Amino acid sequence: MNTPKSRKPRRYIAPGLNADPADEEGNYEPSILQPFLAEVMGNILTLWPHIEGHMIIIFSELIGAEDVGNARLMFRSIINQKARISVMKAMLEKSPDHIETSDWYDRIIDEFAALNRIRNIYAHGLWYTHKQTQRLYLDEETDNYESRGPRREVKVAELQALAERMSAFVDALEAHFTEKGYPSVSEPSSQIQPQQSSADGPEERNPEDSPPERGPPPRSSRD
C-alpha cells in the first residue's frame, strides 16, 4: 500500500484548441451531399448483409452443421458480431475436427473482422459535407465525453478502396463455394421444399418417404 504509484490515474483531458486540425471554416451539412459519394456509401452498406449471409456458410462449415438452415438460426441468434467471430475462431483453432483445415479460413475470418470494424465506423459515424468545398468529413463514433469525436476528411479513393476490398472478399467466398460444389447463389436452397397447394388441403406425406438429403451446406439466395 505504501508503494508509490508509477503513473498517474487516467482522467478526463479537455480537448485543446487544435483538437480537430482537419476542420475548415464554413458551414457543415449533416449528410453526404455529393450523389456519387452517397452512391458508393450506399453500395458499401447494402453489400454488407450479403457478406454476412455468405459467412453463414463458413460458420456452418466450422461448427459442422449438416443443415445450413440450423447454422443460420444459430448465427442470427448471436447478435454480437464479435461473438460470432469468436465462435468461428474457437472452432477453427481448438476443435480436433479442424486439425488439417487450411489457413484460408483464418484469413477469411480475419478479413471479415477487419471489414466489420470499418463498416461499423462508417455506419455509426456522423457524416458531414463542407458546403463551401463539398469535401466529406466523418466524426467517428467514440466513447468520449464530448458529443463528437475527431473529425477527419474522407476522400473518394478511401470509399472506393473499401468497396473494392469488399467485392474481392465476396469473390474469394464465391470461389470457395464453387470449389466445394455448393449450389449457385441464384438457386433456392435444397433444404427448402415448395408447398403444393390443393383444393382438398395440403398433401399428406407418406411416412415411408425418405427425409430430404442433408448434404454440404447449400448457399441460399435468401443469404
Q: Which helix (H) or strand (E) holds 126?
A: strand 126-130
Residue listed under C-alpha cell 508509490: 4
Contact 31, 139 (CB under 8 A): no
Cα 148 to Cα 19: distance, rounded to the nearest angstrom = 11
Q: For residue 53, give its domain range.
A: 28-180
Contact 220, 192 (CB under 8 A): yes
CA distances from 114 to 64, 81, 134 (A): 24, 12, 29
Residue 23 binned pLDDT confidence (cut-offs 50, 70, 90): low
The reported pTM is: 0.73
Cα 172 to Cα 181: distance, rounded to the nearest angstrom = 14
Cα 53 to Cα 223: distance, rounded to the nearest angstrom = 4
Least confident of 9-18, 165-174, 204-213: 204-213
In-domain check, residue 8: no
pLDDT at 61 over 60: yes
In-domain check, residue 136: yes
In-domain check, residue 6: no
In-domain check, residue 79: yes
